[in-house]
Every structure is written in C-alpha cells, then in structure tokens.
Structure 1
Amino acid sequence: MTIRMMLISSAAALAAVSGAQAADAIVAAEPEAVEYVRVCDAYGTGYFYIPGTETCLKVGGYLRFEVYGGPNQKGTSDWNARTRAQVQFTAKSDTEYGPLTGVIVLRNNGDNSSTTTTLDSAYIDIAGLRAGLFYGWWDDGLSGETDDIGSSVTLRNSIRYQYETSDFYAGIAIDELEDGYYKPGETANNFGVAAAIGGKAGAFTYQITGGYDTDNEEGAVRAMGTVAIGPGTLGLAGVYSSGPNSYYNKSEWAVAVEYAIKATDKLKITPAFQYYGNYGIVAGDFNKNNDAWKAGLTVDYQIVDNLYAKATVDYTDADNADSVTKGFFRLQRAF
C-alpha cells in the first residue's frame, strides 16, 4: 500500500470515529446556583433567612445542671441532681399587620437515665394577639429565687391580646386552668380571665396583675414594682387572694421585698424577705390565724460570656409547721 493510500484510509477512519463520538456525546447539566444562608438583621441579632423564603429564624436555648438540697427532694433523700436541655425556635416574617411570630420551645429534663421531653411553649403572635401554650403574667416575679407571689402552674393554653409601647403595656387573657387548683371532690378543667398593666418610668418599673378563676369563683390581684437605688435595685410586691384559686393559693395575702445588689459587673447578691397571712389551705379555704415568713439569699455570678452560676438558700417558718431550709446550686450555659 502506498503512503498516499495509507493517509487517505487513516483520514477516513478518523472521520468515522469523530462522527460516532459526535452522535453519542453527553452534555453535562449546568450546576444549580447554591443559595447561601443570609443574615436577617430586621429583628435583632441571631436571625437568618430560611433559604428560599423571606422568613427569619433564630435558634437559641440553654444547658443547665442543678443540685437541690432540702427535705424530701427525691423521695426521702435530702438532695437531688438534675440536668436540663432547652432549645427555642423563633420564626418571624413581615405582614401587613406587622411581624408574624411563631415560637416553639422544647425542654428535656434528665433527673436520671430516663429523660423526659416536654413542649415547654408553642404559640403564634401577631398584632398583639397571642394564642397557644405559653407562660402568663402570673409567672412573673421579683428577680431573686426566694419570692413566692405567683401561680404554682403558669404554663397554660391561652389566648390573649396585649397592647404595648416601649414604656407601657396592657392586656387581657383567657386561660385554660386544667392544671390549676381545685377544691376537694372536683376536677380542674375550667377557665380563668387574667389582665395586666405594666411599664417603666426612668428607674422605676411596675406591674399590676389580676386573675379570676371561674370554677372556684375566686380571684387574686398582685402589684409589683422595682426602683434603682444606690448600688442595686429595690423590689416590692404584694398579693391578695379572695380564696384559693388557680392564680394564687399559697395564702390569703403576702408581701415580699428584696434588694438586688450589683456588687461587680459579674456578681449580683439578692437578699429577700416575704411574709404570708393565713398561710396554707384547710378544707378548701385559707388556714386562718396561721402566718408564715421566709428569708432567703440568692447569688448570681457570670463566669464567662454565656456561662452563669447561681446559688440560693431560703428558710421558711410557719406558725403550725416545722421550719424548712432548702436551696440549690446551678450552672447554665446559654446560646
């Protein structure tokens, strides 16, 4: 075969191969653009846009370790340890009525190897209207851990409306009192009506809260206030209950005082005192002529950013009962 024929044959073969490859070629798909998480600064720090939406999401919570001491903390034991993990999801988006907010709080309490997860809060909030499972105004208290001027159960399925500005708020709520106080022989699945006003004026803050239990046909009212004085904040509170009910049932009346001393930027020391009139419940009514008093001390210390320590102890002396000393130590890491 001549060189000329070899070149012609090779060229024909290459053309045939090239034609086959062109017919069978695979076209690679264009890569899709990746949408990175964007920071959402419209509602404060910590929010980010959920990819592909205009909804802002914030994830937070805390880890807590506690050791309690006092009579019968765990069965007949005088001490008990507990670990808690809590996470909160807050979603916000703009609407023609203002921000639409959704909150879900999950809590897991580990008292031993068997842990318990609960729905601690879950509610919808828009234009001052809130509906769902959340803590009401009767969960509020003074800054220490020794006051006892609120409901024994404050997490309820409720619907409320609250008007608020930067210095004032007022609202009304309807609460399901399924876990509240009920008289002997009855069951608790009634409802109550609560209302509150509060705000601040300079160094002074205040709150007035009322609640009426429709099943027990009893109500309670409470007033609290704080004012910055010297190196700390003075807190005063008073509560009155017409009879045992789901909003207040510790005593017919009580007064509490505390002084939260800011010793340093990281250390706060809060001594407190409370007095109860007609303390306790007997046969569905307050225990007449049985008074009590409580004194306590709480110490808060910020170890580093987002890591806190708290220790508290209190002593309660009732007229017709043994005195009780109890307290706890806590470490908490917030995020």
Structure 2
Amino acid sequence: MNIKSLLLGSAAALAVVSGAQAADAIVAAEPEAVEYVRVCDAYGTGYFYIPGTETCLKINGYVRFQVDVNRDASGTSDWDSFTRGQVQFTSKSDTEYGPLTGVIVLQTDADNATSQSSYLDSAYIDIAGFRAGLFYSWWDDGLSGETDSLASGPTLHNSIRYQYESGDFYAGISVDELEDSIHGTPLGGGLGESPNNVGIAAGIGGKAGAFSYQLIGGYDTDTEEGAIRGMGTVAIGPGTLGLAAAWASGPNAYFEESEWTVAAEYAIQATDKFKITPAVQYFANARNGGYITGGTYTTTTDFTDVDIWKAGVTLDYQIVENFYAKASVQWQDRTVAVDDNTWSGYFRLQRAF
C-alpha cells in the first residue's frame, strides 16, 4: 500500500465518521417568541396593550414642588413648602356597551421627610355613561385662575353618576354620599350630628364655537339646603373671559361660602408659553363671618351680613414641554375688622408625564 492509497483511505474513513456524528448531532431548541409591548392608538396617545390581553393601559402623572405664603402657613411661620407626587392608571377595553374604563389615581404629599400622607385621590369604573366609585363632582370644576372659590370642599365623593354625551353637549345626574359634609365636629369639640347622608347633583354643559358653558345644581338631604351655579367662558381678543355665579338657599355640602357670589377673570395668552390671569370675586352674606377656606368643617351656621371681596393674579409659564411654573398672589378684604386685608400666594414648579 503506497502513501497515496493510505491518505485516500484515511480521508474516506474520516468522512464516514463525520457523517455519522453530523447525523447524531443535538439540535438546539428555537427560543419562544417574545411578545413585545404594542402601542394602542384606539383611545389616544400614551396607551399600550397589557401583554397577553386586549386591555389598553395609560400611565401618567406629575411631580410638584410648591411654596405657600400666608399668615401662619407653618406654625408661626408665614411660609411653607411641600412636594407632591401623583400617578394615574387608566385602563380601557372594548365591550358591546362601548369602552370599559377603570381609573386609579394615587397621590402622596410630603411636608417634610417625616410628615407625609399617601391617599387614594380617585378610583372609579366607567361604562356607557355610568360611573361608580370615588371621583370629583361637577362642583370641582372652576375658572382657570386661582382666585375663584365656587364650591364647598371637599368635592370628592363616593358616587354613582350617569352622564349623557353627544358631541359638545353633556347632561347628567349624580347621587353622592356626603360623609364629608358640613355637619362635622361642632366648635369646642362637643358631640354633634355625624354626616352620613345623600346628595343629589345634576348638571348640563358643553361648547358652542368659542363659548363653553356649565349649569349645575345640588341638594344636600342632611342640611335640607341646595345650591345652583352657572359658569361660562368665551374667547375674546388675546385671551378668554370667564364668568361665574352661585347661589345657596343655606349652607350645604355643595356650596357653603356665602348666600351668593359672582366671579370674573380674563386669561390673557401673552405668548405661546406665558399666560396672565387677573380675577376678582364678590361674596354676599358670607357664612360664619366669611370663612372661605373650604378645607375644615365645623358645624352648620347660617349666612351672616358679612361681605367679602377677593382679587388676584395668576401667572403660568411653560419652561419646556411638560415642565411648568406657576405663581399666584391673592388679596382678600372683609366688611369686618377680623382678618381685614389679608394676602396669600404660592410659587409652583410641576413636571408632568
């Protein structure tokens, strides 16, 4: 056997062995397909499909830093700062009755590192015009500035509501639980009636060209008093004129500030990023000597003969997209000597996402 025959034989044997190994080789399993997040554009921008479902989800919110200036804002200090974080989850899916919507809004306020409060700001279900859960009523709407006080606070209730919408028109009725109404702890800490009653609110509103309007009413079964409010805005010149008026038969959970009030503002769009809003409001026959904070409830008192004037200006500036600055200065004068000619205001930075 010569060298040439030996090399050819070795090559043939190697080819046979290699073929057998190739036939017996282990084939790696193909990786499972990854389901990437898909954009859901059926309900507007910002929605995406929850993987594995046909439900669309949107996450948005804001971070706010604010400095308040008013008398005894923090103890004996006339200024105080706080930070707020808010996140909102909105889910939507198609049904035979239209979109099924669920909303959860979580909010945390921090006055300092050890003084913080986290709470559920809203949570409700919405379908075919029906809404049930914890949400803000129509009374929470207001003019764009910060001078106006057109509702009693809080305006957040556990409610059931139906709202009909057609184009630029809506009309609805709401049944509200009024556990946070004005029948709270009486002055001096004595025992009093506990609030756990029902309110009925109704409203209509909409737009007609450059004009928008809203007319609402509410009846508090606890105090057996009611209130109505009208509000409208119209684009005039370089800005938007806003007018509002409210009347109450007596202090109630929907409006308790005064027997009646009128408010006006003019939001001037000075530039694409800068808005100036001067405003004024008058309260006739204010409640409890003109108690106009709307945050702490004591006991129901009748309207008095005290009148109040409020005036202020609010400045809004968009620094960059989704980043805003706001400053507001307010002045209040009463027809009595108590707290006459008081000033207040704040400065705010807010990043929305």
TM-score clears 0.5: yes
Kindly indicate whether residue 112 of structure 2 is the aligned counterpart of residue 112 of structure 1: yes
Q: Which runs of 5+ in 2 are unaligned?
A: 1-8, 187-191, 290-298
Alignment of 1:16-31 (within 5 A): 28-31=28-31
Secondary structure of residue in 1 paired with 2:306: coil
| Whole-Å separation in 1 of the counterparts to 2:72 and 2:28 | 71
| Whole-Å separation in 1 of the counterparts to 2:234 and 2:245 | 15
Residue 167 of structure 1: how far off its partner (Å): 1.0
The residue number in structure 1 matching 2:189 is none
1:3-58: CA deviations, max 9, x gaps? xxxx9xxx9xx98xx89x96xx8664431100111111111111111111111111
The residue number in structure 1 matching 2:3 is none
The residue number in structure 2 matching 1:317 is 333
| Whole-Å separation in 2 of the counterparts to 1:239 and 1:74 | 32
Runs of 4+ in 1 over 6 A off after TM superposition: none
Residue 187 of structure 1: how far off its partner (Å): 1.2
The residue number in structure 2 matching 1:244 is 251
Contact 1:251 1:286 in 2 (8 A): no
Contact 1:278 1:286 in 2 (8 A): no
| Whole-Å separation in 2 of the counterparts to 1:126 and 1:157 | 17
- Amino acid of the residue matched to residue 343 of structure 2? T
Contact 2:206 2:213 in 1 (8 A): yes
1:91-140: CA deviations, max 9, x gaps? 11100000011111111111110322111111110000001111110000
Secondary structure of residue in 2 paired with 1:285: coil
Alignment of 1:1-335 (within 5 A): 28-114=28-114, 115-182=116-183, 184=186, 185-281=192-288, 284-320=300-336, 321-323=338-340, 324-335=342-353
- Amino acid of the residue matched to residue 290 of structure 1? V
| Whole-Å separation in 2 of the counterparts to 1:116 and 1:214 | 31
- Amino acid of the residue matched to residue 347 of structure 2? F
| Whole-Å separation in 2 of the counterparts to 1:166 and 1:75 | 50
- Amino acid of the residue matched to residue 145 of structure 1? E
| Whole-Å separation in 1 of the counterparts to 2:178 and 2:92 | 29
TM-score by length of 2: 0.87
| Whole-Å separation in 2 of the counterparts to 1:55 and 1:74 | 45
**Percent identity at matched positions?**
67
| Whole-Å separation in 2 of the counterparts to 1:281 and 1:230 | 40
| Whole-Å separation in 2 of the counterparts to 1:26 and 1:192 | 73
C-alpha RMSD of the superposition: 2.5
Q: Which runs of 5+ in 1 are unaligned?
A: 1-6
The residue number in structure 2 matching 1:4 is none
Contact 2:312 2:328 in 1 (8 A): yes
Residue 179 of structure 1: how far off its partner (Å): 1.1
1:173-225: CA deviations, max 9, x gaps? 01111112116421111110111100111111100010111111111100001
Residue 303 of structure 1: how far off its partner (Å): 0.7
Contact 2:267 2:278 in 1 (8 A): yes
Contact 2:160 2:176 in 1 (8 A): yes
| Whole-Å separation in 1 of the counterparts to 2:129 and 2:202 | 14
- Amino acid of the residue matched to residue 215 of structure 1? D
Residue 286 of structure 1: how far off its partner (Å): 3.0
- Amino acid of the residue matched to residue 30 of structure 2? E
Residue 74 of structure 1: how far off its partner (Å): 1.7
| Whole-Å separation in 2 of the counterparts to 1:192 and 1:287 | 21
